[in-house]
Each structure stands twice: as structure tokens, then as C-alpha cells.
Amino acid sequence: MISITRRFLLAVTFACSGVLVAGASYAEKVKVAAIYTLPVEQQWISRIHKALNTAASRGDIEYVYSENIANTDYERVMREYAEQGMQLIVGEVFGLERAARKVAKDYPDTAFLMGSSFTPVAPNFSVFDNWIHEPSYLSGMVAGAATSSNLIGMVGGYAIPEVNRLMHAFMDGAREVNPDVKFLVNFIDSWYDPPKAKESAFAMMDAGADVMYAERFGVSDAAVERGVKAIGNVIDTSGDYPGTIMASAIWHMEATIDKAVSRVADGSFEAADYGQYSFMAYGGGSLIMDESLMSSETAAAVKAREAEILDGLFRVNVNDARPTSDN
């Protein structure tokens, strides 16, 4: 397993002109609380939790969190943390956008950094998302070159912009190397339902899909059982599914968290969109791939395209519309 991070040092050097250099020390630790609607083991949330733990281990922040908080209870927990004097509250408010913004308005001296489908609101409500469409495109190139049936199955959670754009980028990457490829797309309307995701994957493989896009847990398990290859998303699960996961688009939340913490520490935090810090140029996204599961030509083509992305010579299209199966 190798990490495709050619020119990574160049990218990080560039990024650090706008992002806090990890390890900066503050006069006092920033008090940070996170609120999660699912367990911290869930793939998307785990990346936020990891970044906050990294900042805490450096001594930059004091970190507490609450997990498995229902949307109906989320506003109350936000208020409790604000009343406790937390300086920065991190979370995801896709299911309660209006209520979360109301809380932020009631606590103007507290900084909020929330995963959101909408825009920031002055003075203190900032937003972020996992903009890993670039490595998703690269992983699509791997899948497009790998399929023999020219049919790829894609199982997603919810058809929201944050998911849609990654799936479209993946599809575009596959089409670059294989114009004949087709897709089967299904959303299970859950962030965590491995049996349902597995059932959907089996149906796609029964229809002829021989590569699976594993946006949700359960898909890779189905791929293992049927002996087909899979592409990972957000986290690296190749160790759990050796010989099955060909490549994964990885999200790194550290750049986003470090930037927000630094701004709270120096008093410059304001409403902003932190989405750019998930781009590859900032170290917010990367691709890992198992070259033993693909041809040398495919690996070389992916690396060349990655270099162009990092050099600003290739831009991955962003499409937030709901992806659909090919007829």
C-alpha cells in the first residue's frame, strides 16, 4: 500500500501560507467541544474526531465531545456547551440548519464550525465540508480501468450535495479512462446501515457490476463475499479488506481544525467557509491505492493526473446534483 502524495511537501509548503502550522503554541489552550449525531467510529465523524484529538495531543486545545446526539436534542447540547464557556463548538448540522444558526446568534462570543450544506452567517457561524472531489476523481480512474463488465455499482447514504459531488467526481474519473463505463446508483437513506448497504451492493453485482464504490459501510463486505474489487471513501479500510480495496479517497480534517483553532486563539475568528481546506493543495484530501491490484499503466496515469491537480493544471468539476443510474 502506498500513499499518492507526490509533491506533497510542495503542496503543504504552499498551503501553510494560509493555514496554521501544526504545533503552534498558544498562551492558553482553546476550549473546544464537538457534537456528533453518530458514534465517533463512523467514517465521516471519525476524521473530525481524529483531527481534534491531534490538536489536543499537541496541547493546543482542551477537547470534549458528545456522540449519538439526535437532531431533536442537538440544539440543547449546543447551548449547554456555549453556557459552559466553550470557545469553539464543532459539529454537523445537515439536519438542523436553521436551529443551529439560531443558537449561534444567541451566543455571538462563541465560535461555531459546522458541517453544513449552506453558507456561513456573521459574525460567528462558519461552515465546512469534506471537499474530497479531487481524490474521488482519481479513485474513479482506478475503477474505470479495472472494470471488465463496464458496469460499476455505487451505494451512497443520502443524496445531499456533499455526497453527490464525490460520486460525480468518481464517475467523471472513471469515464476519463473508460468512455464505455456505466453506473448503477442507489442511496440507502441512512448514514449507517451496513446490512442495507450490503443488500444494495449484492443487487448491483447480480446485475453485472464488477467494481463497487463503497461510500457506506457494508459495501466492501459484499464485495469480499463476491470476489469483486471496491473503492473506499473518506477513510482507509484497505487493512480490513486486503486484496479488495483498490484505492480510497481520504479526508484529512487537520488543516480545517488547525485553521479554526488558530483564529479563535488570536481573536480573528469570523464567519467563513472552510471548505477549501479539504482540497488536496492544503493537505485536506489524498488518494491511497494498492498498485498490486492494478496495472502499472493505470497507476502511472493516476499519478500524472494527481500531479496536474496539485500544480493547478487540472480542475475537477463540481456537480452537486443527485447522480442517477445509466439507462
Residue-wise pLDDT tens digits, 134-167: 999 999 999 999 999 999 999 999 999 889 999 9
Is the pLDDT at 3 greater than 90, yes or no?
Answer: no
Count of CA atoms in the C-beta half-sphere (13 A) of 225:
11
Q: 155 forms bridges with which residues in the sheet?
A: 186, 214
pLDDT score for 8? 37
User: Does 275 reside within a domain?
Assistant: yes
Maximum separation of any 2 CA atoms in the chain, in Å: 60
Provide the domain limits for residue 164.
133-251+284-310
Q: Which residue has the higher pLDDT, 39 or 23?
A: 39
Report CA dihedral (111, 15, 239, 152) to the nearest 10 degrees.
90
Instruction: Note whether 170 and 244 are same-domain residues.
Output: yes
pLDDT score for 192? 83
- Chain-wide mean pLDDT for the chain? 92
Confidence of residue 13 (pLDDT cuts 50, 70, 90): very low
pLDDT score for 11? 41
Instruction: Note whether 209 and 303 are same-domain residues.
Output: yes
Is the pLDDT at 23 greater than 60, yes or no?
Answer: no
Q: Which of 240, 264, 281 is the last residue of a domain?
A: 281
Q: How many domains does the chain have?
A: 2
Instruction: Note whether 148 and 192 are same-domain residues.
Output: yes
Instruction: Note whether 116 and 137 are same-domain residues.
Output: no
First to last CA, the chain: 36
Instruction: Note whether 94 and 52 are same-domain residues.
Output: yes
pLDDT score for 27? 74
CA geometry: angle 179, 233, 228, nearest 5 deg: 60
Report CA dihedral (157, 247, 239, 128) to the nearest 10 degrees.
-50
Instruction: Note whether 97 and 235 are same-domain residues.
Output: no
User: Does 327 reside within a domain?
Assistant: no
User: Does 85 reside within a domain?
Assistant: yes
Instruction: Note whether 174 and 229 are same-domain residues.
Output: yes
Question: What DSSP string describes 125-186?
Answer: EEEE----HHHHHHHHHHHHHH-SSSEEEEEES---HHHHHHHHHHHHHHHHH-TT-EEEEE
Confidence of residue 1 (pLDDT cuts 50, 70, 90): very low
Instruction: Note whether 79 and 208 are same-domain residues.
Output: no
272 vs 99: CA distance, rounded Å: 19
| CATH number of the domain within which 172 lies | 3.40.50.2300
Q: pLDDT tens across 69-106, in order? A: 999 999 999 999 999 999 999 999 998 999 999 999 99
For the four alpha carbons of 91, 93, 96 and 97, in that order, the dihedral sign comes to positive
pLDDT score for 42? 87
Instruction: Note whether 290 and 277 are same-domain residues.
Output: no
Q: Which of 162, 168, 95 is nearest to 130 (CA)?
A: 162
Say which amino acid occupies 67: E
Is the pLDDT at 48 greater than 80, yes or no?
Answer: yes
Helix or strand or coil: residue 80? helix
Instruction: Note whether 164 and 94 are same-domain residues.
Output: no
User: Does 46 reside within a domain?
Assistant: yes
User: Does 124 reside within a domain?
Assistant: yes
Percentage of residues of the chain with pLDDT beyond 90 = 85
Question: What DSSP string describes 242-303?
Answer: TTTEEEEEEE--HHHHHHHHHHHHHT---S-B-GGGGSGGGTSEEEEE-GGGS-HHHHHHHH
User: Does 10 reside within a domain?
Assistant: no
Is the pLDDT at 132 greater than 70, yes or no?
Answer: yes
pLDDT score for 18? 42
Q: Which of 241, 263, 281 is the last residue of a domain?
A: 281
User: Does 3 reside within a domain?
Assistant: no
Helix or strand or coil: residue 33? strand
User: Does 7 reside within a domain?
Assistant: no
Task: Please classify residue 12 by burial: count the beta carbons closer than 10 Å to its beta carbon, then call 0-12 exposed, 13-18 middle and 19+ buried.
Answer: middle
C-alpha dist (Å) from residue 11 to 36, 163, 248, 252, 308: 31, 25, 20, 14, 12
Instruction: Note whether 106 and 152 are same-domain residues.
Output: no
Instruction: Note whether 89 and 154 are same-domain residues.
Output: no
Cβ pair 46, 40 in contact under 8 A? yes
3-state DSSP: the chain helix, strand, coil percent, rounded to 5? Answer: 40, 20, 40
66 vs 69: CA distance, rounded Å: 7
Cβ pair 49, 66 in contact under 8 A? no
Helix or strand or coil: residue 90? strand
Q: pLDDT tens across 256-309, in order? A: 999 999 999 999 999 999 999 999 999 999 999 999 999 999 999 999 999 999
